[in-house]
Amino acid sequence: MEVRVGSVEEVRRDGCRIVEVNGRSVGVISIGEEFFAIIDRCPHMGASMCAGSLSGTFVASEPHEYVYGKAGRVVRCPWHGWEFDLESGRSLLEPKRFGLKTYRITQLDGEVVLHA
């Protein structure tokens, strides 16, 4: 199933656009030249992930060393701050237990297309 989300320019301008896929809200997020699609519902309490913020996080490093990475690739739930990797959908805190469903996104003739 393919869902036309909108033109590349429109989706980039919006930052996050919500579309319905099989009765569920999916957030299509624009970051630079890339697009990501995640289910728009936090698995904790159901908040809209598109209402949250995008940031980075501290990544694995040497002891007593703090390295900031994944800039703009982490979406944070607006209600309780749960963080998820946009590429994998996995929770940063408990990746084996929690995650957001992700969808493949392509561009075709200037349009953003979600593949469900």
Distance CA 112, CA 102 (A): 15
> Is the distance from CB of 72 to CB of 56 less than 8 angstroms?
yes
> Is the distance from CB of 54 to CB of 74 less than 8 angstroms?
yes
Distance CA 11, CA 56 (A): 21
Confidence at residue 69, expressed as pLDDT on a 0 to 100 scale = 85
Confidence at residue 70, expressed as pLDDT on a 0 to 100 scale = 87
Distance of CA 31 to CAs 15, 73, 108, Å? 7, 8, 18
Q: What are the extents of the domains in the chain?
A: 2-115
- pLDDT tens track for 29-62: 999 999 999 999 999 999 999 999 999 988 888 8
What CATH topology corresponds to 2-115? Rieske Iron-sulfur Protein (2.102.10)
